[in-house]
Structure 1
Amino acid sequence: MDVRHLKAFLATYETGSVTAAAQRIHVTQPTLSATLQQLEERLGRALFERLPRGVRPTEEGMRLYPQARRLVAEWEAMTAQFDPGGDCISLSVGIAPDAGPWAQEALQRLLAQVRPVPLLKLLAGDQGDLRLDMAHQRRADEGFVLLSREPVCVMLPVRHVLAGHAILSPSDLQGQEWIVCPDLPWHASLVEALGASAPYLPAHAASPSMMPSWVAAGHGLAAVPASLAALAPDAEVVLRPLAGWDVCWETGLCFRPGAMQLPGPAALISAAQQAAVRDWAWPEASPAPL
């Protein structure tokens, strides 16, 4: 068994698909399948359950995953130190889909402070040594360091009749169509703040990052983190605070137990713990500072 077997295992575990895993590590599907079979034979355990579509890790596979992730990260960190470019540490960071521009800029500034310069991999979602995610998505066994904070505002089309208001009151919003995400931690408090103006049959979105383009197209208003306005096409939306409703979107680094034992994650976490939280600053041209 060598690092090649562990990389094949990690790719399959994280993608849930032999085909996608083979594409990720740039091998053919038969080669990856053979590598997984060799690993399972060496360990004497089945690591995946084969399904009609994709694979699912067995209990043994779930036990192996954190150890394999640590060993591969240590191997990559060790080999990076001997690259011609000089001293380097390995670091992989998963970016949650709803980690908005403000939070990602906070991460970018933080990475610029990490020394030695990390050999960085940016991954999608729940992958990597640690991840940039919302505070409410932190798992019970994870550590968390807050990086950024921004207000949650009412987003509406730039040509909406209420766009000229500097601050919106619940009565202003009577009868308005809404797009909501009921799973978000602020949803219940928004409904309470709106009172009698709360929407009866709002449209539902799976995540706040989906909302800006739909708001811009005129399908309803939405409560979203301020920086997500950048996701709307051609600046077709505006943000307005809701009177009496003060809610913040907090984003930071989530990391598993043992992350501090790896050089890359330890350097980033240490820098984050010493840095000031990046609080939202309204652009000078904004007509509605909080």
Structure 2
Amino acid sequence: MNLKQLEYFVAIVEEGQVTAAARRLHISQPPLSYELAQLERELGCKLVHRGPRGVTPTDAGRLLYERAAHILAMATATAREVSSVGRGLTGTACLAVCAGAAGLVPSARLRELAGSESVSFEVREGSVPAVIELVTSGIAEVGVVRTPFASTGLRCRYAPSEPLVAVMPPSMETGGELEVSLEELASSPLICDRRLSERVGHALATRHLEPRLACVTEDERTTCAWAAAGMGVGLVPRSMLRVCDTGEQFIKTVTEKDLETRAAVIWKADRALTTLAERVVALLGELG
């Protein structure tokens, strides 16, 4: 089993057809079918189900796909990192960013690298656990996440605390002119991401109140979009307003200190950063 075979297999699974995968890889179909058969013989199991409409992975194939995608990403990251050693501020910086930090990255200072023809960025997005996995596995050198998160094995540079804001459709307005308390929001249909929903539920439970969760999302940008559509009151970090169009909704700061969060730049504690990655960390600063 080699990297070429893994690349071929990933293409087959993602395209769902050997013919389409061959086009993507710029090779003819026979050698691709041969490599797939060789891989199945070597591993001693069927990796895909072949049907009239294409191929679908077996249970073994799904496992191989997950591992193969990770191995190929690691190989790319390793090649990128090794080639950048000693070259200074050149190459590709791989940065992993959670959705909740979309309003903070790129920071104003990071634009310093934008004018350099020798520097490019590869940006990967995902949940906080996914970003941490990308960093700890070495696929991304630098990540940006939002508290709370497990920082074991990581070095972290934290931004200042940031309050939540409530994105309110006019028909659901409550609270004061600029601020709203958690108690005042308790009777409103709330929209927030999955991690925040747990914290909001706990905070209200301590007050013997039940939250009305109208929608639980995976991404703070989706929260803003649903609130802007009048589906409920969205709860997001204040910096998300920089990248989300909230329309004619009321925006009020949530006066609940326990729900404030901090963004953080993270990198592996036991791994030396490349010169370019060190510069990225320095320019991200405190994500101001």
Would you call these one fold, judging by a TM-score over 0.5?
yes
What is the deviation of 1:240? 1.7
User: Is contact 1:152-1:248 (8 Å) kept?
Assistant: yes
| 2:223 is equivalent to residue 227 of structure 1 | no
What is the deviation of 1:182?
Answer: 4.1
Query: Does the Cα contact within 8 Å between 1:212 and 1:237 map onto a contact in 2?
Result: no
Aligned residue pair count: 258
- Cα 1:247–1:117, aligned 2, differ >3 Å: closer, same or farther? farther
Partners in 1 of 2:280 and 2:269 — Cα distance? 15
1:285 maps to: none
* Stretch of structure 1 that moved more, 213-222 or 168-177: 168-177
Opposite residue 73 of structure 1, the aligned amino acid is R
Q: Give the partner amino acid of 2:26.
A: T
Residues in 2 aligned to 1:263 and 1:8: alpha-carbon distance in whole angstroms: 33
Amino acid at match of 1:28: H
Contact 2:9 2:65 (8 Å CA) reproduced: no
Match in the other structure for 1:100: 102
TM-score by length of 2: 0.63
Alignment of 1:58-69 (within 5 A): 68-69=75-76
Alpha-carbon displacement from aligned partner over 1:85-127 (angstroms, at most 9, x marks no partner): x9623312233333221x2143x52462799963322334356
Consecutive unaligned residues in structure 1, runs of 5 or more: 280-290
Distance 1:233 1:245 in 2: 25
1:255 to 263, 267, 270: 267
Pairwise CA distance, 1:75: 5.0
Shift of 1:225: 0.6
In 1: Cα distance, 2:149 partner to 2:211 partner: 26
Residue 140 of structure 1: how far off its partner (Å): 4.3
Query: CA 1:234 to 1:199, structure 2 compared with 1: closer, same or farther past 3 Å?
Result: closer
Does the Cα contact within 8 Å between 1:98 and 1:207 map onto a contact in 2? yes
CA contact (8 A) 2:186 2:204 kept: no
SS state at 1:235 partner: coil
Shift in CA distance, 56/245, structure 1 to aligned 2, threshold 3 Å:
same
Find the counterpart in structure 2 of residue 288 from structure 1.
none
Give the C-alpha shift of residue 183 in structure 1: 2.7
Partners of 2:186 and 2:167 lie apart in 1 by 15
1:134 maps to what in 2?
A: 146
Q: Does 1:175 align with 2:187?
A: yes
Instruction: Give SS of 2:218's match.
Output: coil
CA contact (8 A) 1:76 1:90 kept: no
TM-score, normalised via structure 1 length: 0.63
1:111–1:147: structure 2 CA closer, same or farther, 3 Å change rule? farther
2:219 pairs with 1:207: yes
SS in 1 for 2:254: coil
Give me the whole-angstrom Cα distance separating, in 2, the residues matched to 1:138 and 1:75.
28
Match of 2:179, SS state, is coil
Alignment partner of 1:118 is 2:119:
yes
2:85 pairs with 1:74? no
Task: Tell me, in whole angstroms, the C-alpha distance in 2 between the residues paired with 1:12 and 1:256.
Answer: 30
- 2:195 is paired with a residue of what secondary structure? coil
1:216 shift after superposition: 1.7
Q: One-letter code of the match for 2:190?
A: W
Q: Tell me how far 1:214 sits from its aligned partner.
A: 1.4
> How far 1:221 moved relative to its partner?
1.4
2:26 pairs, out of 11, 25, 28, with 28
Q: Is 1:241–2:253 an aligned residue pair?
A: yes
CA-atom RMSD, angstroms?
4.8
Partner of 1:277: 286
- How far the C-alpha of 1:137 sits from its partner, in A, is 4.7
Q: CA deviation at 1:245?
A: 3.7
Equivalent residue number for residue 199 of structure 2: 186
**1:157-172 equivalences in 2 (<5 Å):** 157-158=169-170, 160-162=172-174, 165-172=177-184
